Amino acid sequence: MDNIANSYFLLAAILFCVGLYGALSKRNAVIVLLSVELMLNAVNLNLIAFAKYGPVPSITGQIFSLFTITVAAAEAAIGIAILIALYRNKGTTDVLEMNAMKK
């Protein structure tokens, strides 16, 4: 692998970490969902980078990333739907108040 691949990986890692940080620390549920998208995209970037520059380049990684994008879209739709339902019930989007699992 060469330096081009390394920079892709680096970018993906940074993106993943930013997404992870956002998902774990932000209090607004919408931002958390956005952060999750960020992490998924970091993964996509990784997949494509490996598909192109990896030790065994193949088209599989790119196809897989397409799948991921599709699933991520569905996930975002469902996530927003749940958020809206929650907002209607509780009147908040603060994740700290979404602790129903504790009870």
Partner 1 sequence: MEFTHYAWLIPVFPLLAFLVLTALGRQMKGIATGFSILAAAAAFIMAVLVFTERLGENVVDYTWDGFKWIGIGDFAIQMGYEVNNLNTLMLVIVTLVSLLVNVYSLGYMKDDERINTFFAYVSLFTFSMLGLVLSINLVQFFIFWELVGVCSFLLVGFWYTKPAARAAAKKAFIVTRIGDVGLFIGMLLLFWNMPGNSLEFSAIHNAAHTGALSANVITAAAILVFIGAVGKSGQFPLHTWLPDAMEGPTPISALIHAATMVAAGVYLVARTFPLFEESQAALTTVAIVGGFTAIFAATIALAQNDIKRILAYSTVSQLGYMMLAMGIGTMSSYTAGMFHLYTHAFFKALLFLGAGSVIHAVNEQDIRKMGGLGSKMKITMITFAIGTLALSGIVPFAGFWSKDAILTEAYHNVPVLFWVALVAAFFTALYMARLFFLVFTGKPRSDMHPHESPAVMTLPLLVLAVLAIIAGFVYFPGNAWFGEWLLGESPGEHADMTVMILSTVAGVGGLLIGWLLYGRRTFTEDWVEARALPAYQLLNRKYYIDELYDNGVVKPLRGIGYLLDWFDRYIVDGAVKVLSGVMTGTGRIGLRMQNGQLQAYGLIGVVGLLILIVAVVGRRYFHVG
59 binds partner 1 (CB under 8 A): no
Q: What is the DSSP string of 7-22?
A: HHHHHHHHHHHHHHHH
103 binds partner 1 (CB under 8 A): yes
Q: Which of 72, 88, 89, 91 is nearest to 33 (CA)?
A: 72
40 contacts 68 by C-beta, under 8 angstroms: yes
88 binds partner 1 (CB under 8 A): no
* Helix, coil or strand: residue 45: helix
Q: Which of 33/51 has CB closer to partner 1?
A: 33
89 binds partner 1 (CB under 8 A): no
**Least distance (Å) between residue 30 CB and partner 1:** 14
No. of H helices and E strands in the chain?
A: 3, 0
Question: Segment near partner 1 (CB under 8 A), from 5-13, 47-55, 67-75, 91-99?
Answer: 91-99
| Number of amino acids touching partner 1 (CB under 8 A) | 13
Q: Side chain identity at 54, as an amino acid letter?
A: G
101 binds partner 1 (CB under 8 A): yes
In angstroms, the first-to-last Cα distance of the chain is 51
Residues that bind partner 1 (CB under 8 A): 20, 23-25, 32, 95-96, 98-103
